A and B are shown apart, each in its own frame.
Chain A
């Protein structure tokens, strides 16, 4: 659902180099011509080798029809962040010759800059591998999954295309909160789970203990658990055989009519929408006409292929296989993830599909410079082309002018979106404080969702027409060493959490479950969690519905004028602390101007806090520059640049930090 890069020239080049140096071959593809299954690959006699890839025809398409479902495994790797998922993926791709073993392969599947920078996977990617095991050739499809809870929607989609999954656990860190969340997602999908301990060569590794945690938490037999080091390659050769032996092949029949699940899409500037599908029955090839169950729209297939690791055309895709289809689809809106496709005139029963992603965090997005509205509009459209999980509505703020209210899956998703806007589209945006979707129940029975503080009813309406206000809650899981139990209980309580239970997953580690208002975790909950546990606690959550809550709107006034973009909805009990805190922090970031600036925070018509930024008295530099006027002019230009990034509200100039200071709460 994100913009995917075109195949990298560098990848093709290194692959070609490999082919010509190892096999002295002149073909462009990395592997020599070996006629399918009938001839032995020159490498098939060694155990660590990869199966030769099948030949290509004149169009450069390879033939993978020799791989029936029983010779296919579709699997994913699920892991907590930094437990080595991407490194293991790199090793498997090297082992099967999909990428060359250059030592430079770092997170091959993580293509976005933000992914590499943050060490996270945002976007599912898949890669097909050929592998020989016990004399048989297998086609193995690794379907990558994001690890973070914000992207759990992506995780379940990816898992729907798999039959098995590797549960990768860092042998030094043991089970973490995301391990638990991902395990239950996979378990819920009925996948075969293969636990693997990674980083067993670390001096701090405690594989016995990690194995015990796996056994006690997931009730999986851990006696034959694989112990590997993805970094050094130790034991990695046992991973693919384990996949083949311990996970089920895909179901389905080659004789039934074509039926496929669309589980991922991305937009390609040259060919339009590229669809990643899991073929459930039958087969498909170039020239076939297919139909979307969801919309009934017909498409002509212009290319099919596998990700190897870039798009590699094949003569066809058949039952059990996972690959991409290009079919003249123009807009990503047509590609309904979870949709079932069938051959024209051969309708099939549609697969259950997916529940659409729900936006859980909303924020206003505005151009810093109103003149950049159109270009920003275009950038947002392009970015959402590949990320339909972002909901987009136009919004007009009295303070900030025209902009958008965007809905995200979570705060990381929001942050990633902002970073991509800035890095890939060079956009200069102002993002207002995030809001969770509150519910207002009116006395006439109507329920309304509030996605922006501006829509929150005023005091009179609240009094006369509102029956109750509700806020979304999450079920949170925290895992940490026992000695932080006190800190963690306190953290949850100060964030209005209700502790449900805590259990020991081994002698020293605790798993704590609690209910938390979602609003409490969209700001700095995670940072505090880390600081109060010296980095040892991990955290994950899932939505758990709405609960009644005493909500109020807090307004921020500058020189008595309310600034809509600074308003926030919060629980009644937070108003005084947050109100004082925000006033104080605004005072720190607003620069002195030629008049006093009075900052007030107010709720229910009552002023909660007041601060003053005193009038500027003098700023002229009483300095002689001699003939060197360039220094002064350079300074002026820097100041002009700074001023451009200010938002003028009435006469008050607000720096961007003013909006950020609302977003992050300070210390307790």
Chain B
């Protein structure tokens, strides 16, 4: 039944946090006495019903609980959402159902209950093992707490645990980072997400940065730390498959995020969540954004059954650009046949500035592959060298107009 249908991902945004991190640019609200979990769940369920109603012809191949801090939600509520979603749209037997979590003790104790509620992949925000840095970033746990949470989660979600690490904090050196990463990898399961700290406008970190209260490492040091990350992970048996993602085997790759990069369809519910799908009624590609503010989003759901702030049609040219921009973040690259489907029958060779592409191929930045995992045809992919400067390459190979 499932095979003939189009895969769909579901993203669920849980907007509350027990503490606010200085670098976070996502929509979130600090938990207070007024925070009404029951009401939030009801709103999410209403929005779920309204939005998934359009997609009964598809099947869910991943569900992702992000935020905010979804591990603050009650496991029974998470279970309700999974159950309701699968009642609306068929859920694949092997669907990936991930929950993001903080390594604070209260949440660690709930791990088993989340498993029982239907979660089958657990993602932990360890971020760094440096206690001083964790404190400076506003996080209420230690590095040891982080690793302990990973160990605990691995007992329950064996082979299905991933955690986040970040580099590029003020004062960090490449040697210090290498040591820290190695220590973290001692506890790693099958998957890792490793990000460079990015200063996003609107965050407290951004204000500190502008006011020069914090001095982040320079470009060369950041590049060095990135390169060391790639090489240490490779030495420890992790394949680099996307800018910030590493997996011990192709099966361990995150299916949900990969869907974003491959241009697949997804529906997001909760404040600030984004959706991208082909409207079955009109056949048009659509992007939706929900109201970012949690209170206003909730009021909208109660009033209208959904908290959609904006609906935009995604034109063919925009869809092509998205495929290239996000596809080239993966070392598997852009699947030419999938590109062809999105771009109205044009293959990459007809779309990209091929003179430049060939130049980059000659110089070892890009490569034509005969297909990686899930690739239907030949793919245009960055090499490790190319991935490092892919922002420059993309600007160069996209058609000028």
Contacts and interface: CB of A to CB of B under 8 A. Distances in A.
A20 B42 CA distance: 69
A626 B26 contact: yes
A48 interface: no
B198 A623 contact: yes
A621 B195 CA distance: 9
Contacts of B326: 629, 632
Contact of B389 (A619, A625, A629, A632): A619
A633 B318 contact: yes
A640 B389 CA distance: 16
B276 interface: yes
Interface string B195-223: 11010000000000000000000011011
Contacts of A640: 395, 398
B391 A620 contact: yes
B274 A630 contact: yes
Contacts of B268: 627
Q: 3 closest pairs, A vs B, by CB? A: A618-B223, A627-B274, A622-B196
B169 interface: no
Contact of B391 (A619, A627, A644): A619
B276 A633 contact: no
B66 interface: yes
B49 interface: no
B321 interface: yes
Interface string A457-471: 000000000000000
B244 A622 contact: yes
A624, A630, A639, A643, most chain B CB atoms within 10 A: A624
A561 to B, nearest CB: 17
A13 interface: no
B107 interface: no
Given A627-B11, A633-B318, A620 B266 contact: no
28 contacts: A593-B392, A616-B389, A617-B389, A618-B227, A618-B389, A619-B392, A620-B388, A621-B243, A621-B391, A622-B198, A622-B226, A622-B243, A624-B244, A626-B66, A626-B274, A627-B11, A627-B273, A627-B275, A628-B272, A628-B274, A628-B289, A629-B322, A629-B325, A633-B318, A633-B322, A633-B325, A639-B391, A640-B395
A664 to B, nearest CB: 28
Contacts of B325: 629, 632-633, 636
B193 interface: yes
A594 interface: yes
A622, A624, A640, most chain B CB atoms within 10 A: A622
A617 B66 contact: no
Contacts of B227: 618
Interface in A412-431: none
B260 interface: yes
Contact of A618 (B219, B244, B275, B393): B219
Contacts of A633: 318, 321-322, 325
Given A617-B388, A618-B222, A643-B395, A624 B193 contact: yes
B195 A624 contact: yes
A627 B220 contact: no
Given A594-B365, A621-B391, A624-B195, A630 B219 contact: no
Contacts of B193: 624
B387 interface: yes
A270 B227 CA distance: 67
A666 B289 CA distance: 49
Given A624-B193, A627-B266, A618 B198 contact: no
Contact of B287 (A618, A621, A623, A630): A630
Given A616-B389, A620-B243, A622-B243, A627 B260 contact: yes
B113 to A, nearest CB: 25
Contacts of B390: 619-620
B339 to A, nearest CB: 16
B153 interface: no
A594, A639, A643, most chain B CB atoms within 10 A: A594
Contacts of A617: 219-220, 223, 388-389
Interface of A: 593-594, 616-630, 632-633, 636, 639-640, 643-644
Interface string B366-401: 000000000000000000000111111111001010
A623 B24 CA distance: 11
A588 to B, nearest CB: 15
Contact of A629 (B66, B194, B222, B274): B274
B257 interface: yes
Contacts of B395: 636, 639-640, 643
Contacts, number: 93
Contacts of B11: 626-627
Contacts of A616: 389, 392
B244 A623 contact: yes
Contacts of A594: 363, 365, 389, 392-393
A593 B363 CA distance: 14
B15 to A, nearest CB: 13
Given A617-B223, A618-B219, A636 B194 contact: no
A623 B196 contact: yes
B194 A622 contact: yes
A620, A623, A628, A630, most chain B CB atoms within 10 A: A620
A281 B240 CA distance: 91
A632 B318 CA distance: 12
Contacts of A644: 400
Nearest to A626: B66
Interface in B17-53: 26
Interface in B255-289: 257, 260, 266, 268, 272-276, 287, 289
Given A633-B322, A633-B325, A636-B325, A627 B195 contact: no
B243 to A, nearest CB: 5
A370 to B, nearest CB: 11
Nearest to A628: B274
A439 to B, nearest CB: 43
Given A629-B274, A636-B325, A640-B395, A622 B195 contact: yes
A593 B391 CA distance: 11
A611 B340 CA distance: 45
A639 B391 CA distance: 9
Interface in B209-256: 219-220, 222-223, 226-227, 243-244
Interface in B92-148: none
Nearest to A591: B392
Contacts of A620: 243, 329, 387-391
Contacts of B329: 620
A593, A618, A644, most chain B CB atoms within 10 A: A618
Contact of B196 (A621, A626, A632): A621
Nearest to A595: B363
B260 A629 contact: yes
A594 B392 CA distance: 8
B241 to A, nearest CB: 13
Contacts of B387: 620
Given A594-B365, A619-B390, A626-B66, 16 more contacts: A594-B363, A617-B223, A620-B243, A620-B387, A622-B196, A622-B226, A622-B243, A624-B195, A627-B11, A628-B272, A629-B260, A629-B325, A633-B325, A639-B395, A640-B398, A644-B400
Nearest to B164: A624
A342 to B, nearest CB: 57
A618 B393 CA distance: 11
Nearest to B9: A627
A652 to B, nearest CB: 13
A618 B392 CA distance: 9
A573 to B, nearest CB: 39
A371 to B, nearest CB: 9
Contacts of B394: 636
A624 B326 CA distance: 11
Contacts of A624: 193, 195, 244, 257
Interface in B278-319: 287, 289, 318
Contacts of B244: 622-624
